């Protein structure tokens, strides 16, 4: 009995140590995007397909940026071709919600890529 209790407690301790990546770890920035803040990041699986929602806010002058999602499988590998960059204009003090739907049910995670639009 003591052996099983030890195994259960060890398993629970290891599960508590594992954590989900932070918004900062899930965001890839390119170019001058420092004035754009990621204020929220969520995901849900609907009908077997991952849907992501990212909220961004502009703290500076009106800004034109581009974004895309990188869809990852359970093993952390990319499961779809690279998406095209999508431009979005975000005014000073404005908040925008960006949605993405995985192109395949194999996607279990994502990274949000933000780039200075040229």
- Structural domains in the chain (count): 1
Res 97 pLDDT > 50: yes
Q: How do residues 6-59 score in pLDDT, each as one tens digit? A: 454 444 444 444 457 788 888 999 988 989 999 999 999 999 999 999 999 998
Domain with residue 39: its CATH number is 2.60.40.3230
Closest to 43 in 3D by CA, of 114, 113, 116, 108: 108
The mean pLDDT value of the chain amounts to 86
Percent with pLDDT over 90 in the chain:
68
State the residue range of the domain holding 48. Answer: 23-116
Residues 6+ apart with CB under 8 A from 30: 113, 114, 115, 116
Q: Give the pLDDT of residue 60.
A: 86
pLDDT at 3: 54
């Amino acid at each position: 009995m003591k052996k099983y209790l030890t195994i259960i407690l060890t398993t629970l301790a290891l599960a508590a140590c594992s954590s989900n990546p932070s918004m900062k770890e899930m965001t890839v920035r390119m170019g001058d995007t420092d004035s754009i803040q990621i204020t929220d990041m969520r995901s849900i699986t609907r009908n077997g397909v991952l849907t992501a929602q990212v909220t961004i806010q502009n703290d500076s002058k009106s800004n034109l940026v581009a974004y895309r999602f990188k869809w990852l499988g359970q093993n952390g590998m990319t499961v779809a071709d690279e998406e095209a960059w999508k431009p979005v204009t975000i005014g000073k003090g404005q908040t925008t919600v960006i949605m993405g739907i995985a192109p395949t049910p194999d996607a279990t995670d994502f990274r949000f890529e933000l780039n200075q639009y040229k």
